[in-house]
């Protein structure tokens, strides 16, 4: 079942269900190779570097024009040869012991809460495809079953199968700390904080972690048509799988996947400081203006047309004509983030469909039947 996928809602209503941990699902942030992320300069450095410096660092910088030569080379290419995605290579009874490479804060100083980009070394032993998840088993015993290990928590992988260092040995997660504030005192109660998200955000390079997976097929990127349209909708750390897709489409030189379609990302976060992977995404806009679109909904900084807070569904409504036309033409649409994002989005889509004289229920069942509809919420 999907019971263990439930996660703490973020921001104002971050009380864990029944005080237990439902770690916030994750996504990822680290620069090319070991460029520092702390000063937010990693992607700029990577893209502005000259080829000599790049060669010394073992990667090729992208030129502004669209050419495979400007993309980063990846290894090992036999990660492309499997016909089916790997599934549950490691199970909770026999998890894989991986090592933390780095943990970096992924948001600016004025972001509510903290989100970390966690890079994990799996030694190439737990390969995965973009859009899959890893399970993490935090240390300690299960409070509900003393003597047993903690339950597995699922996190969307935020890197491509080659990882942030392009060698197929690492995976990245994007983890928001689940923090519980006592409604009476307004003070943080560490006993009720999310066990796994805090464990991951507090971990240090060299720390060992217990891992399961990979799991999930819902968010796999359909690659049979490299010119397809992919509309990606995320709230917060739900951006994780899309970071993987976009790196595969625009950053990596993957010989058998040359993307020529349209990737359109909608990201909803609280404010500019909460934007995740913003430099990375902005660089794709500059390099691939015909293949990438990026729309942000900043709820605490922007107003929607009726003067309320701007949420991701307001952006969807703004572009609804185009979105519906693309869906009619076979576009894939993806939703990832907190469960609470879906009702508002569904209401908006229903309203738009009715204005267009269409039945949303009928349209939705058609999209599902055509495998154009991909949802992973937690």
Q: Which of the residues are catalytic?
A: 155-156, 336, 376, 378
- The reply to whether 5 sits in an annotated binding site is no
- The reply to whether 105 sits in an annotated binding site is no
- The reply to whether 154 sits in an annotated binding site is no
Is the separation of the CB atoms in 42 and 30 below 8 Å?
Answer: yes
Q: Which residues pair with 210 in a beta bridge?
A: 97, 137
Is the separation of the CB atoms in 312 and 236 below 8 Å?
Answer: no
Is the separation of the CB atoms in 113 and 300 below 8 Å?
Answer: no
- The reply to whether 156 sits in an annotated binding site is yes
Angle at 117 between CA 151 and CA 62, to 5 degrees: 140
Q: Rounded to whole angstroms, how far apart are CA atoms 4 and 151?
A: 8
- The reply to whether 237 sits in an annotated binding site is yes
Please state whether 201 falls in left (phi above 0), alpha (psi between -120 and 50) or beta: alpha
- The reply to whether 70 sits in an annotated binding site is no
Phi, psi angle pair for 177, to nearest 5°:
-60, 125
- The reply to whether 317 sits in an annotated binding site is no
Cis peptide before 214 (omega within 30 of 0): yes
- The reply to whether 376 sits in an annotated binding site is yes
- The reply to whether 338 sits in an annotated binding site is yes
Is the separation of the CB atoms in 119 and 170 below 8 Å?
Answer: yes
Residue given tokens 């935020």 in the structure block: 158
Buried (b) or exposed (e) across 49-68, using 16+ Cβ within 10 A?
Answer: beeeebeebebbbbeeeeee
Edge-first strand order for the sheet with 170-176 is 153-156, 133-137, 208-215, 96-105, 115-121, 170-176
Annotated binding site: 156, 176, 237, 299-300, 309, 337-338, 376
Binding-site residue ranges for NADP(+): 156, 176, 237, 299-300, 309, 337-338, 376
């Amino acid at each position: 079942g999907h019971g263990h996928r439930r996660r703490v809602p973020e921001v104002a209503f971050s009380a864990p269900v029944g005080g237990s941990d439902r770690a916030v699902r994750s996504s990822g942030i680290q620069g090319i190779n070991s460029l520092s992320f702390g000063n937010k300069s990693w992607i700029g450095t990577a893209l502005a570097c000259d080829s000599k410096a790049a060669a010394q660092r073992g990667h090729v910088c992208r030129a502004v024009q669209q050419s495979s030569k400007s993309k980063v080379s990846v290894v090992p290419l036999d990660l492309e040869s499997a016909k089916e995605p790997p599934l549950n290579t490691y199970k909770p009874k026999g998890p894989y012991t991986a090592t933390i490479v780095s943990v970096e804060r992924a948001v600016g100083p004025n972001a509510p809460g903290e989100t970390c980009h966690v890079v994990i070394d799996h030694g190439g032993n737990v390969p995965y495809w973009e859009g899959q998840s890893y399970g993490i088993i935090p240390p300690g015993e299960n409070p509900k079953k003393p003597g047993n290990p903690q339950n597995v928590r699922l996190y969307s992988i935020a890197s491509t199968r080659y990882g942030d260092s392009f060698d197929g040995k690492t995976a990245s997660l994007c983890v928001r700390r689940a923090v519980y504030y006592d409604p009476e005192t307004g003070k943080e109660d560490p006993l009720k904080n999310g066990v796994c998200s805090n464990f991951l955000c507090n971990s240090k390079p060299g720390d060992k972690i217990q891992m399961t997976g990979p799991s999930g097929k819902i968010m796999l990127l359909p690659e049979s048509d490299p010119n397809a349209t992919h509309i990606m909708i995320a709230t917060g750390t739900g951006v994780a799988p899309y970071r993987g897709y976009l790196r595969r489409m625009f950053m990596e030189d993957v010989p058998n996947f040359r993307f020529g379609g349209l990737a359109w990302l909608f990201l909803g976060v609280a404010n500019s400081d909460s934007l995740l992977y913003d430099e990375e995404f902005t660089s794709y806009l500059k390099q691939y203006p015909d293949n990438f679109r990026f729309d942000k909904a900043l709820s605490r900084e922007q107003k929607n047309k009726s003067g309320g807070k701007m949420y991701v569904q307001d952006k969807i409504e703004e572009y609804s004509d185009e979105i519906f036309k693309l869906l009619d033409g076979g576009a894939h649409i993806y939703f990832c983030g907190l469960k609470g994002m879906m009702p508002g989005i569904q209401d908006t889509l229903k309203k738009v469909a009715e204005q267009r004289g269409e039945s949303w229920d009928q349209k939705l069942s058609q999209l599902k039947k055509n495998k154009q509809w991909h949802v992973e919420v937690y």
